A and B are shown apart, each in its own frame.
Chain A
Amino acid sequence: MTTTELLTGGLRIEAHKRRSTKASVRAARLIERYVIPLDQHSGLPALPLVKPADRVRMFQPIAQPAPGISAWLHSPVSGEVLAIEPRPAPHRLGAPTMSIVIANDGRDERFDNAAAVVSFEQISPAEACEHIARGGIVGLGGAAFPTANKLESSLCENGPQLLLNGAECEPYISCDEMLMRERADDIVFGARALLHALCAPNCTIAIEDDVPEAQTALRLAIEKAADARIRIKVVPAIYPAGGERQLIATVFGVEVPHDGFPADIGVVCQNVGTAAAIARWIRDGQPLVSRIVTVTGDGVSEAGNWETRIGTPFSSLIADSGGYTERMSRLIMGGSMMGTSLPHDDLPVVKATNCIIAASALDLQPRGPEMPCIRCGNCSQACPAFLLPQQLHWYLQPFDSEQLSRHGLLDCIECGCCDYVCPSQIPLAERFREAKPLLARELDAHLTADAARARFHSRNERLARLEAEHRAKLAEKRRPKGEPSST
């Protein structure tokens, strides 16, 4: 059962993490073919550096960032490039996305990137950012935003505060918990590299109050590193406390402006997994070619966490986990609250794949029939963005863009809390997810129309002024010479 946190919004949702945290992190089996989508990070797709039939080695760069926001991609294995072609991917379910397909030769021959291993204290912060970019590091919390782009846009004079997000609030995901338990040293190392790259004065690692083992491991690692700049902040295990904006409000007591970024209030938030990936790159020369993936749910035989190379198909991870059970009914990438439901399992693990839930009817309480909203307001009590979902729902039908924008539809973070508590079983999150782009477009059209109107008026004014000037000049010319002007 759940209790709503009446004052802060959010929900205490029963956690389902124990199932996947019994065993330690194991290496996922190696397979013959790896599929690396070129657009698996936020921003622009990477540009391939290889072509079909090229030999590649493990850790070799195979695609470089497009100008702007983009990221490097590296080969997770040694072998041969089979094709660069559109393949289905879990983060773009609409259409296949351009991917590099690599045949694994099983030898794991490493690409010689000795130069990758650097002592970050020896290089300048700007060089450190550039170096982090070369490791293909992206945010591993789920959004896969290229880390170097985020760091560069966050640089400020006195250095921003660094916040490492270890608050894994989605009830099924445990990859960050296992990372903190088993690789706390990597996280602390990565934190120190990030502090250097950002010229940040200190680092706060946020961790939830229901993962004592992870807290202990991190404390020990911080003691070992003897770095007084790094501290731990325990936050309540409330969904969605791990959302970037919610976490910043919880930890620092300040809100990120609705039209701005954390950097605007001097905070940079990175996932703990990202910090560990930075450590592996800077310290060991291993770019981001693998990550920990939680495989859980009542639909697989054995839940667990797997160190998985990017490009591994979901079906292989499911096989590692003992296959589906008879009760399997829904495949989800991500968490149970915000994850994407997938039509099949022949999809590659991408950098953003933190969790695969093979859900059975036991995991998914069936939704009842949708009833009309009775305005009970449970949703507004649960909303972490302080919205009134009941009012937003009212103004969706018919679509009232003025009221929707007054009520802050565009500030909805789509966490699904309103949906979770709704007694009328209204799929609010889905409705809002669909309505947000419509509203954004409509507001944009309004702006465009306003701008066009303004342009039109100023043009008319300009033309009238020109004409008046012209007439004045004509009048001047027609006047007989010598006659004084009337003005």
Chain B
Amino acid sequence: MTFPTAPAPHVVAHDSVGRVMRIVLYALVPTVALHVVFFGVGLLVQIALGAATALLTEALALRLRQKPIEPFLKDGSAIVTAVLLALCLPPLAPWWLVVSGTAFAILLAKHLYGGLGRNPFNPAMVGYAVLLVSFPVQLLQWLPPSGMDIEQTRLSIGETLQTILTGSLPSRLTWDAVTSPTPLDALRTHLKMGMTMAEAQAAPVFGALGGRGWEWINLATLAGGIVLYALHIIRWHIPVAMLSAIVVCASLMYMVDPGAYAGPIFHLTSGASLLGAFFIATDPTSAATSDRGRLIYGAGIGVLTYVIRTWGGYPDGVAFAVLLMNLSVPLIDRYTIPRVYGHAR
């Protein structure tokens, strides 16, 4: 009798890139849900637009590169990029913002470098950075979270769609009435105006821990991140290093002058700290790869995030911090090769 032969190992675990990406998407569900609770259905529209753009550009890029289209569309990585980018955009941002940002992320940040697994930079963060630099006004037009006693400005689903697609609000509203800065942005502006931390944080946009609404969204992100850890999709090194670095920096400065610098809890529960730590910095392709390397990489993102938030030109610094550390990955990887069995310690 004859049999076909194959190389060892003859058994492999059931796993796929698609499964990894699906779990990442599931783990984002609580974040998205609370986002919708506090800021309305705008995010869902942004995700739908982004995902459609991502799949289309991915298919186009694969076709241009003469690669098989179906397995790569099914792997879900493009959708993860789209969702992460959509989460960073204001819920009522005009449609062309999410479409151009996502297309840029997929085409230039991903496929120009060789597609899945070969992008040195996190595609979603490249897309976001490009939008932030090009259209800062639109990107900083956030909505006030619900519970701020301005319910009359809440948009219906139809109005949300209309606003995103046409770029203009229903006639009963004005942009000034609808928008509100993010907590990090508000804090920054208030501190610049010479207010103390206590005066600044008395504004209605702040909640008990960080930004109103944001604190709950961030807790949901933390829960999703813990799920990713429990399912072995991510490991602890990057999130722990990044969050610890933020806490250390924020605590140090808070101890120096509590009146001028926000405390560590505020930094953790506002902005994209937790989303960055669990879902963005942990993108394995663009992160450092050894355990030691990941600790350095995560800590670097944490420090840079704090520095950019506190002294830089933008209210949140996660995106730029991630991109800067992406840039350092080849160097980190080179100097953190682990000791191999049987070699001198």
A–B complex contacts, Cβ < 8 Å, 13 sampled: A255-B341, A330-B5, A341-B8, A368-B16, A369-B71, A374-B17, A380-B290, A385-B340, A386-B340, A388-B338, A391-B289, A406-B337, A423-B19
Docked-complex contact A338 and B9, CB < 8 angstroms: yes
Segment of A63-71, A427-435, A455-463 in the binding face: A427-435
Which B positions have Cβ atoms within 8 angstroms of A?
1-17, 19-20, 71, 75, 77, 115-118, 232, 235, 284-285, 287, 289-290, 333, 337-343
Closest beta carbon of chain A to B335's beta carbon, Å: 11
Docked-complex contact A330 and B284, CB < 8 angstroms: no
Docked-complex contact A371 and B7, CB < 8 angstroms: no
Residues of B within 8 Å of A359, CB to CB, are 10
Cα(A258)–Cα(B190), bound, Å: 61
Docked-complex contact A249 and B10, CB < 8 angstroms: no
Contact code string A239-264 (vs B, CB < 8 Å = 1, else 0): 00000010001000001111110000
Partner of A423, one of B8, B16, B235: B16
**11 further contact pairs, Cβ within 8 A, besides A328-B3, A411-B341, A421-B13:** A245-B341, A330-B10, A332-B8, A337-B8, A339-B8, A341-B5, A357-B10, A365-B14, A380-B338, A391-B337, A408-B343
Closest beta carbon of chain A to B215's beta carbon, Å: 31
Given A371-B71, A386-B341, A387-B340, also A337-B11 (CB < 8 A): yes
User: Cβ of A348 < 8 Å from any Cβ of B?
Assistant: no
Which residue on B lies nearest to A255, using beta carbons? B342
Cα(A368)–Cα(B16), bound, Å: 8
Partner of A420, one of B13, B20, B285: B13
Q: Which chain A residues numbered 307 to 327 have a C-beta less than 8 Å away from chain B? A: 315, 324
Given A343-B3, A423-B19, also A332-B10 (CB < 8 A): yes
Docked-complex contact B117 and A372, CB < 8 angstroms: yes
Residues of A within 8 Å of B75, CB to CB, are 371
Closest beta carbon of chain A to B53's beta carbon, Å: 22
Residues of A within 8 Å of B333, CB to CB, are 391
Specify which of B2, B12, B118, B284 lies most central, judged by the most chain A CB atoms within 10 Å of its CB. B12
Which residue on B lies nearest to A364, using beta carbons? B10
Residues of B within 8 Å of A407, CB to CB, are 337, 340
Cα(A407)–Cα(B77), bound, Å: 28
Which residue on B lies nearest to A424, using beta carbons? B17
Residues of B within 8 Å of A381, CB to CB, are 235
Contact code string A343-354 (vs B, CB < 8 Å = 1, else 0): 111000000000
Closest beta carbon of chain A to B251's beta carbon, Å: 29
Docked-complex contact B341 and A385, CB < 8 angstroms: yes
Docked-complex contact A337 and B337, CB < 8 angstroms: no
Docked-complex contact B8 and A375, CB < 8 angstroms: no
User: Cβ of A166 < 8 Å from any Cβ of B?
Assistant: no
Docked-complex contact B7 and A427, CB < 8 angstroms: yes
User: Cβ of A301 < 8 Å from any Cβ of B?
Assistant: no
Docked-complex contact B342 and A258, CB < 8 angstroms: yes
Given A258-B341, A337-B11, A365-B11, also A374-B116 (CB < 8 A): yes
Which residue on B lies nearest to A330, using beta carbons? B3
Partner of B8, one of A257, A329, A340: A340
Docked-complex contact B290 and A422, CB < 8 angstroms: no
Which residue on A lies nearest to B3, using beta carbons? A331
Closest beta carbon of chain A to B233's beta carbon, Å: 8
User: Cβ of A419 < 8 Å from any Cβ of B?
Assistant: yes
User: Cβ of A266 < 8 Å from any Cβ of B?
Assistant: no
Residues of B within 8 Å of A380, CB to CB, are 289-290, 338
User: Cβ of A425 < 8 Å from any Cβ of B?
Assistant: yes
Residues of A within 8 Å of B14, CB to CB, are 365
Of all A-B residue pairs in the complex, the 5 with the closest CB atoms, nearest first, are: A416-B9, A258-B342, A372-B117, A408-B340, A430-B7
Cα(A256)–Cα(B118), bound, Å: 36
Given A4-B232, A373-B117, also A388-B5 (CB < 8 A): no
Docked-complex contact A342 and B341, CB < 8 angstroms: no
Cα(A359)–Cα(B11), bound, Å: 10
Residues of B within 8 Å of A340, CB to CB, are 8
Interface of B: prevailing SS? loop
User: Cβ of A171 < 8 Å from any Cβ of B?
Assistant: yes
Given A342-B3, A380-B290, A411-B342, also A375-B10 (CB < 8 A): no
User: Cβ of A76 < 8 Å from any Cβ of B?
Assistant: no
Partner of B289, one of A256, A329, A390: A390
User: Cβ of A190 < 8 Å from any Cβ of B?
Assistant: no
Partner of A363, one of B10, B19, B289: B10
Docked-complex contact A2 and B341, CB < 8 angstroms: no
Cα(A425)–Cα(B341), bound, Å: 25
Docked-complex contact A374 and B20, CB < 8 angstroms: yes
Docked-complex contact B17 and A371, CB < 8 angstroms: yes
Partner of A386, one of B2, B16, B117, B338: B338
Which residue on A lies nearest to B342, using beta carbons? A258
Residues of A within 8 Å of B290, CB to CB, are 380, 388
Given A377-B235, A420-B12, also A341-B7 (CB < 8 A): yes
Partner of A422, one of B12, B235, B337: B12
Cα(A336)–Cα(B12), bound, Å: 10
User: Cβ of A304 < 8 Å from any Cβ of B?
Assistant: no
Docked-complex contact A374 and B284, CB < 8 angstroms: yes
Cα(A4)–Cα(B20), bound, Å: 16
Docked-complex contact A372 and B342, CB < 8 angstroms: no
Docked-complex contact A374 and B117, CB < 8 angstroms: yes
Residues of A within 8 Å of B289, CB to CB, are 375, 377, 380, 388, 390-391
Residues of B within 8 Å of A388, CB to CB, are 289-290, 337-338
Residues of A within 8 Å of B338, CB to CB, are 380, 386-388
Closest beta carbon of chain B to A242's beta carbon, Å: 15
Partner of A344, one of B2, B10, B11: B2
User: Cβ of A378 < 8 Å from any Cβ of B?
Assistant: yes
Residues of B within 8 Å of A334, CB to CB, are 8
Residues of B within 8 Å of A27, CB to CB, are none
Docked-complex contact A2 and B12, CB < 8 angstroms: no
User: Cβ of A376 < 8 Å from any Cβ of B?
Assistant: yes
Residues of A within 8 Å of B337, CB to CB, are 388, 391, 406-407
User: Cβ of A146 < 8 Å from any Cβ of B?
Assistant: no
Docked-complex contact B340 and A258, CB < 8 angstroms: yes
User: Cβ of A224 < 8 Å from any Cβ of B?
Assistant: no
Residues of A within 8 Å of B5, CB to CB, are 330, 341-343
Residues of A within 8 Å of B118, CB to CB, are 372
Residues of A within 8 Å of B12, CB to CB, are 365, 367, 419-420, 422, 425
Partner of B13, one of A2, A260, A430: A2
Docked-complex contact B16 and A376, CB < 8 angstroms: no
User: Cβ of A384 < 8 Å from any Cβ of B?
Assistant: yes
Docked-complex contact A336 and B11, CB < 8 angstroms: yes
Residues of B within 8 Å of A408, CB to CB, are 340, 343
Residues of B within 8 Å of A390, CB to CB, are 289
Closest beta carbon of chain B to A322's beta carbon, Å: 15
Cα(A377)–Cα(B343), bound, Å: 21
Docked-complex contact B3 and A375, CB < 8 angstroms: no
Which residue on B lies nearest to A418, using beta carbons? B9
Cα(A419)–Cα(B7), bound, Å: 11
Q: Which chain A residues numbered 1 to 49 have a C-beta less than 8 Å away from chain B? A: 2, 4, 6, 13
Residues of A within 8 Å of B4, CB to CB, are 329-330
Given A245-B341, A384-B341, also A371-B116 (CB < 8 A): yes
